[in-house]
Amino acid sequence: MKKIVYIISMVLLLTTFGYANGDIKSSMDTKIHKALNILKEKDVSDKQKAKKIFKMFDKMFDYNLMARLSIGRDEWYSITDEQKQSYIKAFIKLLKESFIEKLKLYNNQDIVVKDFLKTKRGRGVLKTVIVGKKDSIKVDYKFYRSKKRGWIIYDVVIADVSIIQSYRKQFADILQNSNFDKFLKKIETPQKTNA
């Protein structure tokens, strides 16, 4: 169930950006169902399904912030600009490869959007539940408000576990035993480092 929750969470993650003035909650049903319908397409490979979903929503990710948060402030400011760019590219690839790998686990689960709560300093949380045949799992989407791009997700919390924090812990373990360049080579092989 954990892997299925991850894939549905990623679908929702891909569908919740760009609402500068609109109501995020009411906009979600249409967006979610578009993405879920793509997942239900027959005779289409997982890679092709993922490509369609990414094409629809890629520009709405704040990959830079997600990458920076996933290795932590100290590590981020200790590397060169060139290393930062290489890391962002590797991190995006890691997220996408992980998403594609888990597409095969989707089995017609549904997503119920509960509420969008604005918090302090231009932040917000979208409360959702993934409903399976046997159980349900809460998934919270953390947003920040960008002046140029509206509400953008920077983290997903599945059953009280943050995806970004999971990556950060995993990456910290790798970085503890190697330098940044060796770490970068390791995360460029996604099947060995998925969160």
Domain spans in the chain, listed from the N-terminal domain onward: 2-192
Contact 185, 49 (CB under 8 A): no
CATH 3.40.640.10 fits 2-192, yes or no: no
End-to-end CA distance of the chain: 15
Q: Which residues pair with 152 in a beta bridge?
A: 144
- What pLDDT is attached to residue 97? 85
Contact 144, 123 (CB under 8 A): yes
- What pLDDT is attached to residue 194? 47
- What pLDDT is attached to residue 90? 95
Q: Report, as ranges of residue numbers, the positions in the chain whose pLDDT lies below 50.
A: 16-22, 192-195
- What pLDDT is attached to residue 29? 66
- What pLDDT is attached to residue 9? 59
Contacts 24+ apart (CB under 8 A), 42-47: 46/100, 46/103, 46/104, 47/100
- What pLDDT is attached to residue 10? 59
Question: Is 0.85 surpassed by the pTM of this model?
Answer: no
